[in-house]
């Protein structure tokens, strides 16, 4: 039995009383085969529509619509020997026309395949057969979506009277899409624990598209670099498991724990993220607080969503943020019941909430989180909701939203999705505590820079904004999502709703692009410091106390002209750099290795976007060519989409295609070089020429237009062993404005992490 989204929870279907629900009058549809198919496999489906009593008149036809989350590719009816070819026939032999439009229907069913019968007519019992992936003339078939889905629907609408009004037929057929063979393994630990405190290890195998796969079967060897009570030396994994959790593990000594997973032949499958064991540790709890399910614009059910985040992604906290204009009242009640059911103090925390989804000029996207269930939802509009009985509760612009929430126990994050949050259109520091600067949509440091320009004192978060049913482990797939989904690490003493909410209000958190590295950050000053309990620019009753050391998120007053920043980073992979920043300015770029350690590895990284908002993706299509050097080894960086190649072509050339929206991708070239060797890059946006002798320890940046679109080139060690980094640096304080002191960490796999700032007020 598959977990199918109930119709009454959907904000994207017609009411049950719609006449198209009558199969006697309007017909019915079936699909073969209807058995599970593998994600991103090539398939042929025969969809057969059988006419009801009304038959079909000439000029009528069908629409088969797909969610924009799906990445089936562009269906087409013109090239019978090409991929995704679709043909259509009917039982009376009338001509049929096939067309496809990727924005051809109502959200979220944007992708529309239209089957038109321009002349003739059909009687009751006559049929239309649509072959999706027709291989009869040489097409390899249709590539199904890359994300596993429990109840993929061939949502079918019919126009029987040639009025161009398409209404849904009853019971659109469902075909499950399932994960493929395992290609990647993951071992997931928490980040901070005290000696003797219990923790868990999560194990998961994924197919090449990031779907957890029950097809994995292995005898695993578990090796730890510290003594771990309760950790078995070996275990048998699968088949049939999406994940495995080993609970009640303990380490008695202080240190940094990493666990290596090997198969029975001794081949390394995964190395865990680091777990720091130390006295007086304030635990770091991992959260993905933003994503959607199939009741709105995503896939699978909200129940599956919360279960996945807890049991497969191994999160500590989760939120479900459907677009408000798709949340009908039944679904809002259901979401509240789910968050109450899944919330388990000490183990897994959930918050009820929604994405307030106004147009950009009205404030743009914001995420609203309530501490408790049963609160009134204040939508930006009822755009897709037929029931308008509570439209008077809407908050149509950001000012109205913050007014509606002023007495609520709630926090708000500004967000970038299809719409971007325009902070000039409204902000309330009592409620809006953070900027979401990374998600599956990309990386948006410019949102934090907007906040600095406006003098706002906010923290940084990152979440997946995932639509593929994988919160906390959100791969972008083959669609227009360009990045792995983000995570937020909440620094709180206990795993409770109250403790995490306090943490959010105090900005005690850092954000990552999905990796579970750990950041420590504190600030001291030579003279006295005072730290405010709340933002004095917002709360008239804020009070301050003397402080010697302050942490990320704090707002402090100092009389010094400089402060001392101390940081520590523990990562699961080698560290490329740590940037120390004062607001928008980079004070220092620190690397864990010296100039003398760099070798013959040339690193090329591409990043940036076209613009803010929709259509922001930069499309890199280029080559890297060497003259006077040859490629000894090639390795892609952050190449998330297997269908966008980033690969070596021959001894001197590499080819790359990618999409970025502020995030980065790239590659490493380990080279054998001669004097005068050159690197030539054609990025699709411009050409870059650089002598290999000029590529050094610090990066060279080549601007490529757009929104912070650039190429970075640097030289790295042949082997970088540095997975930990500590530092202390003096940061000058500028007068007349806030000094948001924060750091950005970049690791060699392309992941990044950002601390929330310490706001130093001179």
- Encode pLDDT of 614-659 as tens digits: 889 999 999 999 999 999 999 999 999 999 999 999 999 999 999 9
DSSP state of 232: -
Residues 471 and 561 in one domain: no
Q: Are the CB atoms for 305 and 466 separated by under 8 Å?
A: no
CATH code for the domain of 313: 3.20.20
Residues 666 and 618 in one domain: yes
The DSSP element (H or E) to which 594 belongs, if any, is none
Q: Is the pTM of this model over 0.85?
A: yes
Query: Exposed (0-12), middle (13-18) or buried (19+): which is 564, by Cβ within 10 Å?
Result: middle
The DSSP element (H or E) to which 453 belongs, if any, is helix 445-453
Whether the per-residue pLDDT at 1 is higher than 80: the answer is no
Last residue of a domain, one of 277, 312, 346: 277
**295 in a domain, yes or no?**
no
pLDDT mean over 518-540: 94
Residues 372 and 431 in one domain: yes
**291 in a domain, yes or no?**
no
Quote the pLDDT of residue 614.
83
Residues 441 and 378 in one domain: yes
Quote the pLDDT of residue 378.
98
Quote the pLDDT of residue 259.
98
Q: How confident is the model at residue 727 (pLDDT cuts 50, 70, 90)?
A: very high
Q: How confident is the model at residue 117 (pLDDT cuts 50, 70, 90)?
A: very high
CATH code for the domain of 681: 2.60.40
Per mean pLDDT, which range of 11-25, 103-117, 449-463, 689-703 is the poorest?
A: 11-25
Residues 737 and 705 in one domain: no
**288 in a domain, yes or no?**
no
Q: How many CB atoms lie within 10 A of CB 722?
A: 18
Quote the pLDDT of residue 19.
53
Proportion of the chain above pLDDT 70, given as a percent: 97
Separation CA 597–CA 720 (nearest Å): 9
Separation CA 266–CA 222 (nearest Å): 10
Q: Which are the contacts of 90, defined by CB distance < 8 A and separation ≥ 6? A: 96, 117, 120, 122, 126, 127, 128, 129
Q: Which are the contacts of 425, defined by CB distance < 8 A and separation ≥ 6? A: 361, 362, 363, 364, 397, 398, 399
Cα dihedral 657/663/669/673 (nearest 10): 110
The DSSP element (H or E) to which 210 belongs, if any, is none
**536 in a domain, yes or no?**
yes
Grouping H, G, I as helix, E, B as strand and the rest as coil, residue 8 is helix
Q: Are the CB atoms for 710 and 701 separated by under 8 Å?
A: yes
Q: How confident is the model at residue 280 (pLDDT cuts 50, 70, 90)?
A: confident
Per mean pLDDT, which range of 168-172, 499-503, 574-578, 722-726 is the poorest?
A: 168-172
Grouping H, G, I as helix, E, B as strand and the rest as coil, residue 448 is helix
pLDDT digits (tens, 9 = 90+) for 218-272: 999 999 999 999 999 999 999 999 999 999 999 999 999 999 999 999 999 999 9
What angle do the packed helices 302-311 and 329-342 form, to 10 degrees? 20
Separation CA 587–CA 710 (nearest Å): 20
The three state secondary structure string of 638-651 is CCCCCCCCEEEEEC
Q: How confident is the model at residue 16 (pLDDT cuts 50, 70, 90)?
A: very low
Last residue of a domain, one of 146, 178, 210: 178
Residue count of the chain = 762
Whether the per-residue pLDDT at 15 is higher than 70: the answer is no
Quote the pLDDT of residue 17.
36
Whether the per-residue pLDDT at 126 is higher than 70: the answer is yes
Separation CA 520–CA 522 (nearest Å): 7
**141 in a domain, yes or no?**
yes
Quote the pLDDT of residue 479.
77
**715 in a domain, yes or no?**
yes
Q: Domain total for the chain? A: 5
Q: Which are the contacts of 569, defined by CB distance < 8 A and separation ≥ 6? A: 517, 518, 519, 520, 575, 578, 724, 725, 726, 745, 753
C-alpha dist (Å) from residue 420 to 293, 353, 417, 522, 611: 21, 19, 6, 31, 11
Per the model's pLDDT, the better-predicted residue between 513 and 8 turns out to be 513
Regarding beta strands 365-370 and 410-414, do their DSSP bridges make them parallel or antiparallel, or are they unpaired? antiparallel
Last residue of a domain, one of 178, 202, 230: 178
- CA torsion through residues 423, 427, 429, 430, sign: negative
pLDDT mean over 288-312: 96
Residues 476 and 570 in one domain: no
Residues 443 and 427 in one domain: yes
CATH code for the domain of 247: 2.60.40.10
Q: How confident is the model at residue 20 (pLDDT cuts 50, 70, 90)?
A: low
Closest CA to 558 of 424, 758, 393: 758
Quote the pLDDT of residue 281.
79
Separation CA 754–CA 762 (nearest Å): 23
Quote the pLDDT of residue 14.
40
Residues 309 and 396 in one domain: yes
Separation CA 462–CA 756 (nearest Å): 11
Backbone φ and ψ of 445, nearest 5°: -60, -25
The DSSP element (H or E) to which 519 belongs, if any, is strand 518-532
Quote the pLDDT of residue 73.
80
pLDDT mean over 688-713: 97
Residues 355 and 421 in one domain: yes
Residues 655 and 708 in one domain: yes
**294 in a domain, yes or no?**
no
- CA torsion through residues 272, 274, 277, 282, sign: negative
Q: Are the CB atoms for 327 and 338 separated by under 8 Å?
A: no
Q: What's the token pair of residue 286?
A: 């991992």
Domain that residue 387 falls in:
301-483+499-507
Residues 166 and 191 in one domain: no
* Region for 607 from its dihedrals, namely left if φ exceeds 0, alpha if ψ lies in -120 to 50, beta otherwise: beta
**646 in a domain, yes or no?**
yes
Q: How confident is the model at residue 145 (pLDDT cuts 50, 70, 90)?
A: very high
- Omega cis (within 30) before 227: no
Residues 98 and 18 in one domain: yes
Q: How confident is the model at residue 354 (pLDDT cuts 50, 70, 90)?
A: very high
């Amino acid at each position: 039995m598959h977990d199918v989204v109930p119709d009454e929870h959907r904000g994207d279907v017609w009411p049950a009383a719609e006449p198209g629900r009558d199969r006697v009058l309007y017909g019915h549809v079936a699909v073969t085969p209807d058995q599970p198919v593998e994600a991103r496999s090539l398939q042929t489906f025969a969809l057969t529509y059988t006419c009801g009593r009304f038959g079909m008149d000439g000029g009528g036809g069908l629409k088969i619509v797909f969610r924009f989350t799906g990445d089936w590719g562009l269906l087409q009816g013109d090239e019978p020997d090409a991929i995704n070819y679709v043909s259509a026939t009917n039982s009376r032999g009338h001509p049929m026309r096939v067309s496809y439009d990727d924005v051809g229907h109502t959200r979220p069913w944007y992708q529309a395949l239209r089957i038109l019968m321009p002349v003739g007519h059909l009687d009751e019992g006559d049929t239309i057969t649509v072959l999706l992936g027709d291989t009869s003339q040489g097409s390899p078939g249709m590539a199904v979506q890359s994300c596993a889905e429990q109840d993929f629907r061939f949502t079918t609408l019919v126009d029987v009277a040639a009025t161009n009004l398409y209404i849904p037929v009853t019971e659109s057929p469902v075909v499950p899409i399932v994960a493929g063979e395992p290609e990647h393994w993951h071992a997931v630990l928490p980040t901070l624990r005290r000696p003797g405190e219990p923790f868990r290890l999560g194990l998961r195998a994924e197919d090449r598209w990031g779907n957890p796969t029950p097809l994995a079967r292995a005898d695993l060897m578990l090796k730890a670099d510290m003594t771990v009570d309760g950790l078995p030396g070996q275990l048998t994994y699968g088949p049939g498991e999406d994940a495995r959790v080993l609970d009640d593990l303990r380490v008695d000594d202080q240190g940094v724990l990493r666990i290596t997973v090997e198969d029975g032949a001794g081949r390394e499958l995964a190395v865990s993220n680091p777990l720091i064991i130390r006295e007086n540790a304030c635990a770091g709890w991992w959260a993905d607080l933003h994503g959607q399910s199939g009741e709105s614009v995503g896939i699978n059910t909200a129940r599956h969503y919360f279960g996945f985040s807890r049991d497969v992604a191994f999160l500590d906290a989760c939120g479900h943020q459907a677009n408000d204009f798709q949340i009908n009242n039944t679904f809002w009640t259901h979401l509240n019941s789910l968050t109450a059911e899944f919330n388990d103090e000490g183990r897994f925390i959930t918050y009820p909430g929604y994405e307030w989804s106004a147009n950009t000029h009205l404030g743009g996207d914001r995420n609203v989180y309530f501490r408790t269930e049963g609160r009134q939802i204040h939508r930006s509009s009822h755009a897709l909701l037929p029931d308008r009985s509570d439209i008077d509760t809407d908050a149509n612009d950001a000012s109205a939203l913050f007014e509606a929430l002023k007495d609520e126990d709630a926090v708000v994050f500004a967000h970038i999705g299809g719409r971007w949050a325009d902070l000039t259109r409204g902000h309330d520091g009592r409620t809006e505590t953070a900027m979401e600067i990374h998600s599956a949509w990309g990386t948006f440091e410019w949102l934090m820079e907007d906040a600095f320009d406006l003098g706002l004192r906010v923290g940084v978060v990152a979440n997946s904004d995932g639509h593929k049913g994988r919160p906390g482990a959100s791969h972008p797939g083959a669609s227009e999502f360009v990045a792995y989904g983000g995570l937020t690490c909440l620094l709180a003493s206990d795993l409770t709703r109250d403790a995490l909410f306090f943490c959010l209000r105090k900005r005690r958190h850092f954000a990552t692009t999905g990796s579970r590295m750990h950041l420590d950050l504190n600030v001291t000053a030579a003279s006295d410091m005072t730290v405010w309990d709340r933002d004095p620019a917002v709360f008239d009753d804020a009070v301050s106390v003397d402080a010697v050391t302050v942490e990320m998120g704090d707002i402090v007053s100092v009389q010094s002209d400089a402060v001392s920043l101390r940081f520590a980073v523990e990562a699961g992979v080698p560290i490329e750099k740590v940037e120390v920043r004062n607001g928008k300015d980079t004070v220092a770029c620190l690397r864990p290795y010296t100039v003398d350690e760099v070798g013959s590895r040339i690193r090329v990284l591409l990043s940036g976007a076209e613009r803010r908002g929709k259509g922001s993706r930069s499309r890199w299509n280029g080559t890297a060519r060497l003259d006077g050097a040859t490629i000894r080894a090639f390795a892609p960086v952050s190449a998330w989409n297997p269908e966008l190649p980033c690969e070596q072509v021959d001894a001197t050339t590499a080819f790359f295609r990618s999409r970025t929206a502020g995030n980065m991708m790239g590659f490493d070239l380990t080279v054998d070089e001669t004097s005068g060797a050159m690197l030539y890059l054609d990025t699709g946006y411009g050409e870059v020429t650089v002598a290999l002798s000029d590529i050094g320890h610090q990066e060279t940046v080549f601007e490529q237009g757009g929104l912070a679109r650039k190429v970075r080139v640097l030289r790295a060690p042949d082997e970088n062993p540095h997975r930990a980094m500590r530092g202390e640096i003096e940061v000058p304080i500028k007068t007349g404005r806030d000094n948001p002191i924060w750091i950005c960490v970049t690791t060699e796999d392309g992941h990044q992490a950002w601390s929330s700032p310490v706001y130093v007020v001179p």
